[in-house]
Amino acid sequence: MSKNKPQTELSETIRLNKLIAECGLASRRHADRMIEEGQVIVNGKKVYELGIKVNPNKDRIVINGHPLKRSAMKLYVVFNKPKGVLTTMEDPLERPTIADYLDKIPGRVFPVGRLDWDSEGLLLLTNDGDFANKVMHPKSEVTKTYLVKLDGKPEKKHIDKLLKGVSILGGKVAAKHVERLKRPEGSDQYDWYKIVITEGKNRQIRQMFEKIGFDVMKLQRVAIGQLKLGSLPRGEVAFVNEEILNKIFLPDSPDEVKIKKTLRPKQASTKRSPPKSKSKSKSKRTFKF
């Protein structure tokens, strides 16, 4: 940029990935990937340079054929993702996605992190890219708490190994806390465990238990920091305010998360997710977290 340009114009420039995040289109990391893949055009030319700065008041920015527009309202939503739903907004194979449940949200949001196809539970969505980046950044060490049903009974040596750390695809990871949960009355022979982690690698929980010789039969995320899934039913969404959002950055206390009646294994939990056509009847509600 020319040294002769006035200071007022210099102060109006912003990193392209930060602008994309502020517009609610993606997190900064995702924005960087979009730039690298040539999806972003600035003033008629594709840009590939990470760290490039633009002037949102003067530069014309187009992403995948659509002009970039600033979002007028920040949205923060929690969703209880059912099993058998992709954590993505669209799928070329037309499988169920989280977008099928978000038609009542007054604006475009994207998921902060992800849950696998065969996992369920708490998912956070927003159009605030800076907030999403803060939640996902390793330095934040945001805790994620899961309830896991295993096909066996780990011994103390197995649990100690998880706490010490195991190597999986993507690097070495360790659990912050692992405990066996009291088996509910009338439940089957399989044991449930609570595990708390801070990383978010692909299929991390499943890989960790596979590393010590056990398969995960069911996986449900019940908390992000101290933001709890609570009574939010499967397939439902709820808006959260700033006070509740702050709970995300408070580490989960091992003594605070207890298995609740609504989280215990029961016949209803095996139902398939509602058909896409019925998801639109879902209404927004407010739940305690």
- Enzyme catalytic residues: 116
Amino acid identity at 91: D
The answer for residues whose C-beta is within 8 angstroms of residue 11's C-beta and 6 or more apart is: none
Look at residues 181, 177, 180 and name the one whose alpha carbon lies nearest to residue 263.
181
Give yes or no for a contact between 153 and 215, defined as CB atoms under 8 angstroms apart: no
Calculate the alpha carbon distances from 271 to 57, 140, 143, 228, 267 in Å: 50, 36, 29, 22, 8
Q: How far apart are CA 86 and CA 129, in angstroms?
A: 21
Task: Please tell me the number of Cα atoms within 13 Å of 136 on its side-chain side.
Answer: 21
Q: How far apart are CA 165 and CA 32, in angstroms?
A: 30
The answer for residues whose C-beta is within 8 angstroms of residue 141's C-beta and 6 or more apart is: 198, 251
Amino acid identity at 44: G
Q: How far apart are CA 62 and CA 40, in angstroms?
A: 6
Phi, psi of 212 (to 5 degrees): -105, 10
Phi, psi of 227 (to 5 degrees): -80, 110
